[in-house]
């Protein structure tokens, strides 16, 4: 057998082995633990048969976590990006988280769109994915998301404050007029940290307003403390005035 024939034979043998390994993931003869162990043994494998198997496994509640991790380890960003279109929000959420871990600039737009997903699990996982990026190209994406307010927008504004306070400041000044209590609270946090004397009049008007606590019911998970915008404004004013 010459070298070309030997390589062809090896290629066919590996392909058959990959297909057999993938089929173990879905065998009715194996329990959940055994199926997950079979999946774990394929970690980092990038043959077409394995990648197709991992995409199929995304719809399996038992295998999803392993499958999405394997796709990331294989560098299969295109496959993860395609999974963002799944009808299953659990699949979209898992794909967004792992896609962000690759930190590839070409997937920033896809993750930014996922961060606007109406499903909170998906949007929060997409935000987590975006937060993995260290490239400055993520800054305008955070700014655009923050400007829209809401829970995801507030998370984006928080990221923006950490990475580029001066980019966060104009967004925060706009959100100070938001009808959403949480948007205004996050805005005052940013203004307190990065604002200047020009922000004091707006903050003083809020500080002079109602001293009553505002309910935060319906935001986030579990019980959250009531929010006092007047007190938050006073805190931001003190921060600004304490700076030289």
Query: pLDDT tens-digit profile of 103-133?
Result: 999 999 999 999 999 999 999 999 999 999 9
Of 24-28, 99-103, 115-119, 142-146, the poorest mean pLDDT is in 24-28
How remote is the C-alpha of 2 from its chain's centroid?
51
Categorize the per-residue pLDDT at 244 as very low, low, confident or very high, splitting at 50, 70 and 90: confident
Cα–Cα distances in Å, from 190 out to 46, 58, 96, 162? 44, 39, 27, 10
Instruction: For tokens 């392993």, name the residue.
Output: 66
Band of the pLDDT at 18, cuts 50, 70, 90?
low
Q: What number of helices (H) and strands (E) belong to the chain? A: 14, 0
Task: Select from 82, 69, 76 the least CA-distant residue to 43.
Answer: 69
Torsions phi, psi of 214, nearest 5? Answer: -105, 135
Of the chain, the percentage scoring pLDDT greater than 70 comes to 85
Q: 44-77 burial, b if ≥16 CB within 10 A, otherwise e? A: ebebebbbebbbebbeeebbbebbbbbbbbbebb
Kindly report, residue by residue over 165-206, the tens digit of the pLDDT: 999 999 999 999 999 999 999 999 999 999 999 999 999 999
Which residue reads 């950490």 in tokens? 162
- Report yes or no on whether pTM surpasses 0.75: yes
- Rg of the chain in Å (alpha carbons): 24
pLDDT band for 212, please (50, 70, 90 cuts).
low
125-129, 139-143, 223-227: least confident range: 223-227
From the CB of residue 42, how many other CB atoms can be counted at a distance below 10 Å? 25
């Amino acid at each position: 057998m010459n070298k070309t024939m030997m390589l062809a034979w090896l290629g066919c043998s590996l392909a058959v082995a990959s297909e057999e390994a993938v089929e173990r993931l879905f065998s009715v003869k194996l329990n959940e633990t055994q199926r997950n162990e079979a999946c774990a043994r394929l970690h980092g494998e990038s043959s077409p048969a394995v990648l197709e198997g991992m995409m199929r496994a995304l719809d399996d509640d038992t295998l999803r976590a392993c499958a999405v991790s394997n796709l990331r380890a294989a560098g299969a960003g295109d496959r993860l990006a395609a999974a963002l279109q799944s009808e299953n929000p659990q699949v979209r959420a898992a794909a967004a988280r792992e896609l962000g871990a690759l930190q590839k600039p070409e997937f920033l737009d896809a993750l930014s769109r996922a961060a606007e997903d109406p499903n909170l699990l998906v949007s929060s996982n997409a935000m987590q994915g975006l937060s993995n990026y260290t490239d400055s190209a993520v800054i305008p994406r955070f700014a655009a998301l923050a400007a829209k307010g809401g829970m995801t927008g507030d998370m984006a504004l928080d990221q923006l404050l950490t990475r580029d306070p001066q980019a966060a400041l104009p967004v925060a000044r706009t959100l100070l007029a938001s009808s959403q209590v949480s948007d205004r609270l996050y805005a005052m946090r940013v203004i307190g940290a990065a604002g200047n004397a020009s922000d004091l009049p707006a903050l003083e008007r809020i500080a002079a307003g109602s001293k009553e606590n505002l309910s935060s019911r319906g935001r986030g998970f579990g019980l959250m403390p009531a929010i006092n915008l007047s007190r938050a404004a006073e805190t931001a004013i003190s921060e600004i005035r304490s700076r030289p």
